[in-house]
Chain A
């Protein structure tokens, strides 16, 4: 197999890695916000439930969570949802791992939403009470204060920890190969098994590295954009 063929084969896997990455961000970033608000709620039961959920999700390895999501419908309800989706999509469109990708996506979105929620909570709680009071005495509503005064200050503070988490995310997508999702590492392992090629496995690192490089530049830009004010 030529270098170009290997690259193209691995790239197909990286598309799946990127898909998991993108969907997790797209859904996880907004989903983290209600979780953060629940964990700051003054209504005790809501707060406790949110804290327990975050504790469990952060307390169990992500790989295990993928297994749980994937196997639980079959084990508990005798309805192997994700393998059924697998089979259905394969018969219709010829893609073999759609159901497993779905299971991975669910696990990732929940997991990352919980991590994000803690970053949001930290960011929101770090804004001084006096900023709210300055808004109150000007006759603004709670909503206006949050949206127009607090939010951007929170965003500025959470960009560095969020960048960190997002960079971790692209590498975490490798965990999807635990249920045989054809992401890039799985593709490389496939080459090792069928073509006795070991170097593509190491070559995958370049894909991650380049992608993380792009992310780093992007976050640098965002930080710079928010550099015009200090709080």
Chain B
């Protein structure tokens, strides 16, 4: 049974068509890596999944439940959109932690405001998540006191606190110094062993190859090629994929 089913998503900004019919599905525990050059629509797709953008057309279903249908999108209330967002988590490129809250407060803020469990339970869960991302000794630090890699790990814990069905990452290591990307990627890799369904937009080809179960290569708003990493990286079919891969490997 597919956890996530995305069907024929279209999205334009004015005259500029960013997504031109994106469809894919994801099984439970699968990790999907989305690669492609900037401007290909990866981030917009991720933002559509998290209802930060509203697709013009298409459907999104999670666990067989239709969350979004372009046909009836106009009628969606703010409350419905908010509820829908709870199925997804999103980790941003620039972390976007709340600066006035400590690590543990960042993680427990939303569960507390949404009253998911008792204060005690929320606190316990937050502490467990902090331990998972290896920041137990930093739980009372404020974001500015942490390195980028640490901040991103807090952001991951914050997204996990609400137990989303699908956890999305938007270039989670792009804003980090090279020596810090490893610690973040390791956390993401660990999450895979917990059977977490994830969508990762990334430029880290090695990571995509080693961790993802499925790769989507996007170009000009369409899925140019989709398949298991061996196929995409070893035997790419499309010329565009070949060109992109040889270029990004060249850089390394």
Interface residues of A in 112-163 (CB under 8 A from B): 130-131, 133-142, 144, 148-149, 152-153, 156
Which one of B83, B98, B114 has the highest number of Cβ atoms from chain A below 10 Å of its Cβ?
Answer: B98
| A134 CB contacts on chain B under 8 angstroms | 92, 96-98
Task: Tell me which residues from 83 to 139 in chain A have a Cβ below 8 Å from any Cβ of chain B.
Answer: 130-131, 133-139
B52 CB to closest chain A CB (Å) equals 6
A229 beta carbon closer than 8 Å to chain B? yes
* Contact, CB under 8 Å: B142 / A130: no
Could you tell me if B52 and A140 are in contact, using CB atoms closer than 8 angstroms? no
**Interface residue count on the B side (C-beta < 8 Å):** 29
A139-B114, A139-B162, A148-B113 known; A231+B85 contact, CB < 8 A: no
- Residues of A near B114 (CB, < 8 A) are 139-140
Contact B99 A231, beta carbon cutoff 8 Å? yes
Q: Which of A133, A137, A142 contacts B88 (CB 8 A)?
A: A137
A137: nearest chain-B partner, CB-CB:
B90
Knowing A130-B92, A133-B92, A137-B90, say if A229 contacts B144 (CB, 8 Å). Answer: yes
Asked if B86 and A139 sit within 8 Å, CB to CB, the answer is yes
Question: Which residues of B are in contact with A by a Cβ distance under 8 Å?
Answer: 50-52, 78, 82-83, 85-86, 88-90, 92, 94, 96-101, 109-110, 113-114, 142-144, 158-159, 162
Would you mind naming 25 contact pairs between A and B with Cβ atoms under 8 Å apart? A130-B92, A130-B94, A130-B96, A133-B96, A134-B92, A134-B97, A136-B50, A136-B51, A136-B85, A137-B52, A137-B89, A137-B90, A138-B109, A138-B158, A138-B159, A138-B162, A139-B82, A139-B85, A139-B162, A141-B78, A144-B113, A148-B109, A229-B142, A230-B99, A231-B99
A interface residue numbers (CB < 8 A to B):
130-131, 133-142, 144, 148-149, 152-153, 156, 228-231
Give 12 A-B pairs besides A130-B96, A139-B86 with Cβ atoms closer than 8 angstroms: A131-B96, A134-B98, A135-B110, A137-B52, A137-B159, A138-B158, A138-B162, A139-B110, A139-B114, A140-B113, A229-B100, A230-B143
